[in-house]
Amino acid sequence: MREKTFERPTARKILSLNGIDLPEKITPSFISDLMQSSSVVNISGNYERAVKSVESLNHAEIALFSENFRVSKGDSNKGIKSLDYLVKIDSQQVLRNISGLDNVPNRLTRQFLEEYKIWPYTLIKEVTKSGNVENPPIGFYWVGLDGHVRSTTWIRCVAGAEMQVMRRKGDFSSRVKDKTL
């Protein structure tokens, strides 16, 4: 039996938590009225401008992204299964850049990580430095010690981090269960 501990909030729930009451049926005129108010900021253009727009939002504003930022479920699944839309965090080039050594192991080992005090987020930060801003990756992958490829998306990372923060800072007790158990 699967224990339900957290649920990802819907767009309706997020908007209602921000004081925006939604009608049963959302119409184009309702969206237009929201965009004319100062509560919703329409973000379009390229990724670099989008990041700057999001960073400049105040706490009462909500970002509404245009269609060109959308990654469909099908595209996401295709990208993860083919690794086309992901960056590899344990490549030799990344290990060279982080450690400063020319001679690095063929694959990432625990001993190497411990010896050079390399954190997982350091690997992610290093590999995303060379990413294409206009065609950014949707996640990252690495090869496990058993030789199998592991991958995840940024959205899963964000959701997992939010759940951990909710668990630590919330006024309730709960557990985030590992799906593999």
pLDDT tens digits for 89-135?
A: 988 888 898 888 888 888 888 888 888 888 888 888 888 887 777 78
- Reported as a pLDDT band with limits 50, 70 and 90, residue 35 is confident
Strands (E), 17-148: 40-43, 62-65, 86-88, 139-143
- Tell me the mean pLDDT in the region 69-84: 84
Reduce the DSSP state of residue 160 to 3 states and report it: helix
- For the chain, the domains span 8-70, 71-172
Determine how β-strand 149-153 pairs with β-strand 139-143: antiparallel
What is the pLDDT, as a whole number, of residue 3?
56
Q: What is the pLDDT of residue 173?
A: 55
Top pLDDT among 139 and 38 is at 139
- Measured CA to CA, the distance from residue 16 to residue 13 in angstroms comes to 5
pLDDT class for 6, splitting at 50, 70, 90?
A: low
Average pLDDT rounded to a whole number, residues 163-173:
68
SS3 142: strand
pLDDT-derived band at 166 (thresholds 50, 70, 90) equals: confident
- Alpha-carbon distance 6 to 163, whole Å? 7
Q: Summarize the chain as % helix, strand, coil (round to 5).
A: 45, 10, 45
**Band of pLDDT at residue 1, cut at 50, 70 and 90:** very low
Helix (H) or strand (E) holding 102: none
Note if the pTM is more than 0.75. Answer: no
When the pLDDT of each residue in the chain is averaged and rounded to a whole number, the result is 80
pLDDT at 120: 83
